[in-house]
Amino acid sequence: MKTFPQANLLQQLPKQFFASLVQKVNAVITEGHDVINLGQGNPDQPTPAHIVNAMQQAVAKPAYHKYSPFRGYSFLKEAVATFYKREYGVTIDPEKEVAILFGGKAGLVEMPLCLLNPGDVVLVPDPGYPDYWSGVVLARARMEMMPLRAENDFLPDYEELHEDVVRQAKLMFLNYPNNPTGATATESFFKKTVSFAETYGIAVVHDFAYGAIGFDGKKPISFLQVEGAKDVGIEIYTFSKTYNMAGWRIGFAVGNESMIEAINVLQDHLYVSMFGAIQEAAAVALLQSQQCVEELVATYEARRNTFIRALNDIGWNVQAPAGSFFAWLPVPKGYTSETFANLLLEQAHVAVAPGIGFGEHGEGYVRTGLLTSEERLKEAAERIGRLQLF
């Protein structure tokens, strides 16, 4: 059989760092060990019943068995506008300022293709979600990293970026609540971001995947709540985390009209929109009772409290995340993030994600997910404690 080589573009894509983690975890499981897997970001709860029921009924509607409108059904875009007004006080034009996405990841990877030419500069958080890198490579653009440091609450410091880099930048990714650090953004930081983007003509993409998940009674703020944000950027929202709909592959982008139009133009060529029944169920998720979201956040907060308390009890001095369903934990002296993760997997049978997988400034940390029961999180801490590392 003849083997056809992949295009140079595909060969330049970043290697999937976490594929090797999955292999390592599976190998330990195959040996017969009970692994507590805190290394992944896959929600563990089912989609709420009222959303599933809406989908089940919608599947039977013959209208949805035909091609959907290219840019999505108006009823879903109107639901998005209603959702943003209700949750954030932000007015959205449903036809001009909303793009329906095949999951939030699709929009994040598409955005560089929509706005950039080869050689253009993109500002990317470090550490950050690795799929930002994929879109940049596909667009043949160039990444410049924005370090996220604990001493600055894991917010980028725009003043430390080199002037030449900033003047070349065309696009910037932000993500709060943050993956992997669990940090949240402030209104003053978003105001500074709008001013910075206006000054240098940079398009902002705010990844709001964990927008619903804030702790200690503090609701994460939307980038679009800040005056002028729509002039310089968009926000990408996913149903995966808020409504446990990760497998449904649906999200949306809202904000700057020209950026939304660019997404829609690209998607006109890639897809013929999304199955209408999924869009109807998504509208139900946005418009009906949000009690399921409140209960989910309470579950994550209880897990966070149990886990962080248990880790501190074994002598591991860690901070509680302010949002998201991740905890960002410092590695003890004498280890890299990868050697420490390997140690925990091999000796405690606890899987965590090495921070280096999220960028150079992720070194010195591991990421853990709050995506299993309080009992299992407590057991994970106890297993780590038995290694007497702290």
Neighbours of 31 (CB within 10 A): 9
- Per-residue pLDDT at 20: 80
CB 105 within 8 A of CB 85: no
Task: Please give the Cα distance from 172 to 170 (Å, whole number).
Answer: 7
Neighbours of 98 (CB within 10 A): 27
Domains of the chain, each with CATH number or no CATH: 8-46+292-385 (3.90.1150.10), 49-287 (3.40.640.10)
Contacts of 231 (CB under 8 A, 6+ apart): 194, 198, 256
Contacts 24+ apart (CB under 8 A), 3-12: 9/137, 9/138, 9/140, 12/137
Please list the pLDDT of the chain residue by residue as tens digits (390 residues): 999 999 999 999 998 777 888 899 999 999 999 999 999 889 999 999 999 999 999 999 999 999 999 999 999 999 999 999 999 999 999 999 999 999 999 999 999 999 999 999 999 999 999 999 999 999 999 999 999 999 999 999 999 999 999 999 999 999 999 999 999 999 999 999 999 999 999 999 999 999 999 999 999 999 999 999 999 999 999 999 999 999 999 999 999 999 999 999 999 999 988 999 999 999 999 999 999 999 999 999 999 999 999 999 999 999 999 999 999 999 999 999 999 999 999 999 999 999 999 999 999 999 999 999 999 999 999 999 999 999
Q: Nearest Cα to 206, choosing from 151, 157, 145, 255?
A: 255
3-state secondary structure of 215: coil
Task: Record the tokens describing residue 241, joined without a space.
Answer: 């985390």
Angle, CA of 138, 101 and 360, to the nearest 5°: 45
- Per-residue pLDDT at 201: 98
Task: Please give the Cα distance from 256 to 323 (Å, whole number).
Answer: 26
3-state secondary structure of 124: strand
- State pTM to two decimals: 0.96
